[in-house]
Chains A and B, each alone.
Chain A
Amino acid sequence: MNLLEIENLSHRYPDGTRGIEDINLTILKGEFVVIAGRNGSGKTTLLKHLNGLLLPDTGMVRIAGIPVSQDLVKARQMVGMVFQDSDSQIVGETVHNDVAFGPENLCLDRGEINTRVATALAAVGLGGLENQRPHTLSGGEKRRLAIAGVLAMKPIVVVFDEPFSDLDYPGVKQVLQQILTLHQAGHTILVTTHDLEKVIAHANRLIIMKDGKIVRIGSPEDLIKETEVFGVREPCASRMGMEIRSWLS
């Protein structure tokens, strides 16, 4: 079943810079898709169209058959977005308040909000830190808090924009494990990255972008040898002719 449908999507920024151009893409329910490309290739611009943070100049995005522009609140509830910079995404003065921010915006009652906060924090392994102030958390914990904030809104698609940037090795493993857990729980996952090494072993599909356009789309095995042409480093194992293995194994 097609969950996300993107048709002829183009966007230019107000200063005339091209963001994305003529994107056509469908994402199936439960897929794990990696979108790769060098900086400025349009990955983040594409993601921001999935929940209506940016609206297209031409074209359309549909989630479960409903155009995003028709109901922005619903689109943002269905497509949870975890940004590259966790510090700028965390709005609450405590861990609990940050996770509660989304459900409060959905006008849920307090009992339901507390249940969702507890469930989301337990899901990312931050249970017991409810009263902690966010700036005292480690990089990996902040990223997981940002994920909990999104999970509390019960999305069906979770979109990660460069989820491994600025993280140390344990932080990368924690976040990767979290992404895989969400995928196993039935969420559709989209991850943008310019560093395939950490995540490609788990992807069903690889999309490569360049200059705002999708230039390659297919299975990771088929495309992995072509990535360097588009400014994305081929994973080390693949270069050496070995099987690409998970960072968690």
Chain B
Amino acid sequence: MAELTILNYRPGTSVMHTIDPRFKLVCLVLISLSILNTYPLELGVLTLSVVAVLMNIHVSFSSILKELRFFFIFLFFVFMARAIFTPDVANPQDIELKIVTISRQGLYDGALICWRLLIIVMIGLSFVATTQPSEIKAAVQWYLTPIPFIPEKKVAVMMSLMMRFVPVIFNQAKETLDAQRARGVENRKNPVYRLTKFTVPLIRRTFENAEKLAVAMEARCYSDRRTDPELASTRKDWIALFLVIGLCVLISA
């Protein structure tokens, strides 16, 4: 579980890889917002664009399906909830099952919402796959700089530490779990007992490590006054941004 493959950067030389992370981030936000008001035709155009991008960055579709398997379960629940709870005014009681009534309108709405969510996740995936964590951190720091009362450098370091320590904490969780299974914790059926015995040592160890980390950072002269990350935009980034704005206008119109 140490590998969060869905959040992994995949080195490459595609166009997406070379675009400035600030531009990629703003494009991601623009598309995610404009997709809220789209219908099958626009969604079809977006799907084709996303597929083209994913092919360009050489991400295999089978790996995407594998990595998104839990997300599909979530989508299924969204779809079912929408199908069951959307009343169809024009065609009441279209498909009547034993317990619930599913309307055609609900099925259509559910499919539309799932399609939109899937495209947003795919775009997010292509963003993460083509942008190094340090670049994402640099872009967020850049956007936060003009906002008063937000210590952008602290936020950037926190993001960096989070990315560094999530796999470490997962490893610790696995170790703690294995150590408890080795002593027969599975024989205890009370989930509260098991949860307590699992979380308390894990949290204690995480805090102890955080303390060591703070000392190690101090030993390397950590302070808020530090070198900023380097970002440079080119003509290509602006062209990409205008293309995305054009696409968003087109699908929202």
Contact = CB atoms under 8 A, between A and B. Distances in A.
Interface of A: 48, 51, 53, 73, 76-77, 81, 83, 85, 87-94, 97, 101-110, 113, 131, 133-135, 149-150, 153
Contact of A87 (B134, B209, B217, B221): B209
A19 to B, nearest CB: 14
Contacts of A76: 218-221
B152 to A, nearest CB: 14
Given A87-B168, A105-B226, A94 B221 contact: no
Given A77-B221, A131-B132, A91 B216 contact: yes
A187 to B, nearest CB: 16
A166 to B, nearest CB: 13
A149 B225 contact: no
Given A87-B168, A153-B221, A93 B133 contact: yes
A135 B171 contact: yes
B133 A94 contact: yes
Interface residues of B, number: 29
A61 to B, nearest CB: 15
Contacts of A73: 221, 223
Interface string B9-21: 1010000000000
Given A104-B226, A107-B227, A153-B221, A89 B216 contact: yes
Contacts of B220: 76, 91, 101-102, 105, 149-150, 153
A110 B213 CA distance: 24
Interface of B: 2, 9, 11, 132-134, 160-161, 163-164, 167-168, 171, 209, 212-213, 215-223, 225-227, 230
A134 B209 CA distance: 16
A88 B213 contact: yes
Contacts of B171: 135
Contacts of B223: 73, 105
Given A53-B219, A93-B134, 14 more contacts: A48-B215, A76-B219, A77-B221, A85-B209, A88-B209, A88-B212, A90-B164, A94-B134, A97-B134, A102-B220, A110-B227, A113-B227, A135-B167, A153-B220
**Top 4 A-B residue pairs of the complex, sorted by shortest distance between their CB atoms:** A88-B212, A93-B163, A89-B216, A105-B221
A88 B219 CA distance: 12
A135 B2 contact: yes
Nearest to A73: B221
A90 to B, nearest CB: 7
A91 B160 contact: yes
A91 B218 CA distance: 11
A43 B131 CA distance: 43
B168 A83 contact: no
Contacts of B161: 91
21 contacts: A73-B223, A76-B220, A76-B221, A77-B221, A88-B213, A89-B213, A90-B164, A92-B164, A94-B134, A101-B217, A104-B226, A104-B227, A105-B222, A107-B226, A110-B230, A133-B167, A134-B164, A135-B2, A135-B167, A149-B220, A153-B221
A81 B219 CA distance: 7
Contacts of A89: 212-213, 216
A113 B226 CA distance: 12
Nearest to B170: A135
A107 B223 CA distance: 10
B167 A85 contact: no
A81 to B, nearest CB: 5
A131 B11 contact: yes
B131 to A, nearest CB: 12
B174 to A, nearest CB: 12
B164 A91 contact: yes
Nearest to A76: B221
Given A94-B133, A153-B221, A83 B216 contact: yes
Given A83-B216, A87-B168, A108 B221 contact: no
B129 to A, nearest CB: 14
B216 A102 contact: no
A76 B171 CA distance: 31
Contacts of B209: 85, 87-88
